[in-house]
Amino acid sequence: MLKFQLMQMMHYIIRPMEYGDIPQVAQIDREAFPGEWVFRSQSAYKRDLDNPSVRYIAACMKREGVESGGRVVQRLLWFKRLFSHECHLDSSEYIVGFSGFWIMMREAHLIAIGVRDGYRRLGIGEGLLIATIGLAQVVNANIATLEVRASNEIAQALYKKYGFQVVGRRPRYYSSDGEDAIIMSTDNITSTSFQASFQQLRKAHAQRHPEPLAQVR
């Protein structure tokens, strides 16, 4: 496990999502995607975790590090073995974000990237996107795709930064309000050109966070 220090002596991890995370993840889902979360109920998350074609990861921190209202300046802590299942949730962990994708015919289709209220615009969403693309590569996906609300320009800008391009539009895709969805897709995520850009962005993101202070297994 690589340990990164936060500005206020707090630490984060990104690891595979587990059954015990589901209630907190469902809560974040309701906060981040009002009107859509009903399609990802707690039972749906459990089914997804049982499905070998689905991958979820969670960003979490120790509960004793959580400030009232979640107003913190933070840095992300990454597990050395991010994609293994050697790490287990304990009751002191507080989930602050999650992401997931389906793997179909070597395509990783992003289901959602959600961050808890009070912890947004702090780099967690970008960190989850980096980890998601990395995990997609591990499971031998060639491309990554997603849908995003037409009005969500901030998310679209982040996806474009990481190589997603607009490839289509789904009219009235979101049943809660009839908003259109923008379809975005990457080029081959295993290609030399994509990897060069991705690794550069990954390093730039890491430079905004302290280097590892310790290594714990």
- The span from the CA of 31 to the CA of 27, in Å, is 6
Query: Which of 57-61, 153-157, 204-208, 211-215 bottoms out in mean pLDDT, i.e. has the lowest?
Result: 211-215
Mean pLDDT of 150-162: 97
Cα–Cα nearest to 16, from 147, 135, 178, 190: 135
Residues facing residue 111 across a β-bridge: none
Q: pLDDT tens across 61-102, in order?
A: 876 555 544 444 334 444 334 444 444 444 568 999 999 999
- Per the model's pLDDT, the better-predicted residue between 146 and 175 turns out to be 146
The domains of the chain are located at 2-209
Long-range contacts of the stretch 31-35 (C-beta < 8 A, 24+): 31/114, 31/116, 31/117, 32/112, 32/114, 32/115, 32/116, 33/112, 33/114, 34/176, 35/174, 35/175, 35/176, 35/177
* pLDDT at residue 66 in the model: 56
Residue 157 has pLDDT above 60, yes or no: yes
Which is nearest to 10 in space by CA: 98, 75, 80? 75
- Which residues form the catalytic set? 147, 159
Q: What percent of the chain has pLDDT over 70?
A: 75
Look up the CATH architecture of domain 2-209.
Answer: 3-Layer(aba) Sandwich (3.40)
> What is the four-CA torsion angle of 31, 34, 37, 42, rounded to 10 degrees?
40
